[in-house]
Amino acid sequence: MIDIQVLLTVFNRREKTLEALHHLYKNQNPNVRLLVTLFDDGSQDGTAAAIAAQFPEVQVLTGDGSNYWNGGMRRAWEVAKRSQPEFYLWLNDDTLLDSSAIRNLLDTSAFFADQAIIVGSTRDPETGALTYGGVVRKSRWKPVRFHIVSPGSTPIRADTMNGNCVLVPRGVEQKLGILSPAYTHSMGDFDYGLRAKKLNIEMWIAPEFVGTCGRNQIFGTWQDTALTKKARWFKLIGVKGLPPKEWAAFTYRHGGVLWPITWLSPYIKCLLAPTASRAQTDSGN
């Protein structure tokens, strides 16, 4: 029997979370035991109660809304470690696994003697296009710029990954540890993969897709050029953007000798960008 601790962090997405759990449990089989540790970061939509009613076997931890993705996943992982499972599976609450997903991930892991991180790729539920998965560096001169890699019929090496669906063997966790406390929301997944690479821990993209997950839209984010410059600035330095201290930690660790320039770049670009009204006028010419 293989024990897999499935780690999720959720916030106010009750129906999506329930659907993700339904799809997860379709992967249950006599040789695999799914132990789910879910961190609910202060949801106000009844997520925790609904999970308790429909999935009483899920261990639900609760937060106050300040943990976000990376913090919530860290909290879940710290608790999940106590059961000493053979594997940990990161799973986003909007990722719907195919019924063959976990078998695919485990088979790929076995091919590498359970000593590598295995990344699952997701497709758009409507178009079938690649949305999340493993990534590789664009060039040695841009060490924190990446492009996503489509899965193939055999495993493909990656430099790091999106955290939507990732299988981490216990042996890897024992060498690398869990997600870094340096990050609150984003960057923790990419940081984990890049830290693994520095320790010569391999990372492989599993063959084929493992499920569906829609791509996050830039609407309302710091990348949304329809917003005013002031609004974009505050979103950029906010928790869900590139908080200066956290972005500094990431670029210092992984950006090479020119990391200060890389760190400063998005803030300069935001400040020098045309205002929303000017950008919209220019784009119409």
Q: pLDDT tens digit string along 104-147?
A: 999 999 999 999 999 999 999 999 999 999 999 999 889 999 99
Residue in 37, 36, 62 with CA at minimum distance from that of residue 49? 62
222 in any annotated domain: no
Domain count of the chain?
2
Q: What's the pLDDT score for residue 278? A: 41
Q: Give the separation between CA 179 and CA 29, rounded to whole angstroms.
A: 28
Residue ending a domain, choose from 183, 212, 241: 212
Instruction: Please name the helix (run of DSSP H) or strand (run of DSSP E) that holds residue 33, with its range, or none.
Output: strand 32-40
Residue in 143, 182, 140 with CA at minimum distance from that of residue 262? 143
Q: What's the pLDDT score for residue 27? A: 96
Residue ending a domain, choose from 156, 185, 212: 212
Cβ atoms of residues 76 and 37 within 8 Å: yes
**What band does 218 get if pLDDT is binned at 50, 70 and 90?**
confident
176 has a pLDDT exceeding 90: yes
Domain housing 179: 2-212
Q: pLDDT tens digit string along 20-49?
A: 999 999 998 899 999 999 999 999 999 999
Q: Give the separation between CA 33 and CA 216, rounded to whole angstroms.
A: 31
* Beta-bridge partner residues of 33: 3
Cβ atoms of residues 4 and 34 within 8 Å: yes
Q: Give the separation between CA 163 and CA 131, rounded to whole angstroms.
A: 12
184 has a pLDDT exceeding 60: yes
Structure tokens, 258: 């020119």
Residue ending a domain, choose from 181, 212, 243: 212
Across the chain, mean pLDDT equals: 95
